[in-house]
Amino acid sequence: MRKISKTPPILLLIFFGQGSALFITPAFPDTIAQDSSFSKDPFFSASEEEEENEPQAKDQDFPESEAQLGPEGESEEDPRPNTIIETANVGEQDAGEKTKNVSKTTDSPNPSKPPQATNTEKALFNKVAPDIKKVIKSGQLRVSMCMVDQPPFHYIENGKLVGFDVELAHEFATALGVKLSFVETSDWDSAVNLLLEGKADMAISNLTLTPDRAMKVLCSTPYAKIRQCVLLNRVLLARASGRGLITLRQVFTEYENKKLAEEQGTSYVTTASETFPAATVVQETSWDKIMKKILERQCIGTISDEIEIQKQLKSAQTMELLPVILKNKYDLLVVCVSHESPQLLAFVNAYIESKNKKCEVGKS
């Protein structure tokens, strides 16, 4: 039997500028303690002695599972600009066949006589880079987003789309002086592909920085850093250990069941192959199917970010699953734009840095 211990909840700190912030302390179920049989595994986190020397975030002032967006005392009325939701059925409908649901409408005071730009405003507009000018002239910022709940980044709460990525998109639109339009997709690769098809201006959707994505589109300065985690079936791991396979590298090289189940259309299909080259990657269309494969012992585990692993552990409520944080393995989340929008990317990078729009999970 392996020693299991309770670890303190992980503090997620998201800054929203001007002194406001989002604090989240997700409940992380039983996690692995450093045990002697795996202590030499290069993929495990640093030992507890090493971790004690690193600065720890203070979380005693923030209640678990509670989050507050925006500064204290903020009105519950949504002050955000007009938002349009578009559904993009990639491969089935063209741009003219998308359905639109306007969640809010803001009519101008006198539609028949729109306000005229001053000479100064016209001069400033003429100096704007062509790719940004195109967005401003269209009157809307089209942001592609995968409509699969990924708290705290984007998810549906009380019928509204909320989260860090959603707020970031609203801030970009406000800074550009245009309305915000979300173009919905069913997976992350499709959110990026809409940029290549000219159907979106930005992709903001918990997107991980990968070499493959960087070859297709321009990627921003990372705005979030999340530790990678592997979720293992304890029974299969114990069987492998009984055969003298005492490190993850040995397990995913020599054990007969070295299958990793990964969600189709995510960067983890590539991550799994790169992290454990000898493993067999099985692609599934949903997390329900991934967890079924692991719990039925058809696959030994899966790799994902620790937020997703926390969610799956909480949902499964079983001691048969063992989460392990991988050493020095992180996901860097970025905003993506097309190669035709270099100045739009420069705007995004400047906004992220100047407004300190960054969040981090776990330790650096």
What is the per-residue pLDDT across 243-266, written as a single tens digit (0 to 9) for each? Answer: 999 999 999 999 999 999 999 988
CATH number of the domain enclosing 31: 3.40.190.10
Does residue 317 belong to any structural domain of this protein? yes
Q: Bin 297: left if φ > 0, else alpha if -120 < ψ < 50, else beta.
A: left
Q: pLDDT category, 79, cuts 50, 70, 90?
A: very low
Number of domains in the chain: 1
Does residue 91 belong to any structural domain of this protein? no
Does residue 49 belong to any structural domain of this protein? yes
Minimum mean pLDDT among 43-47, 210-214, 241-245, 266-270: which range? 43-47
Range of 8's domain?
4-68+225-332
- Tell me, what's the pLDDT at 21? 40
Q: Bin 139: left if φ > 0, else alpha if -120 < ψ < 50, else beta.
A: left
Does residue 342 belong to any structural domain of this protein? no
Provide CB contacts within 8 A for 74, sequence distance 6+: none
Does residue 123 belong to any structural domain of this protein? no
Is residue 224 within 8 A of residue 332, CB to CB? The reply is yes
Angstrom distances, CA of residue 18 to CA of 72, 84, 140, 147? 12, 27, 26, 29
Provide CB contacts within 8 A for 232, sequence distance 6+: 300, 301, 321, 322, 323, 324
How far apart CA 18 and CA 330 sit, in angstroms, is: 28
Does residue 28 belong to any structural domain of this protein? yes
How far apart CA 358 and CA 225 sit, in angstroms, is: 9
| Residue predicted with more confidence, 31 or 177 | 177
Q: What are 327-355's pLDDT values in tens digits?
A: 899 999 999 999 999 999 999 999 999 98
- Tell me, what's the pLDDT at 117? 53
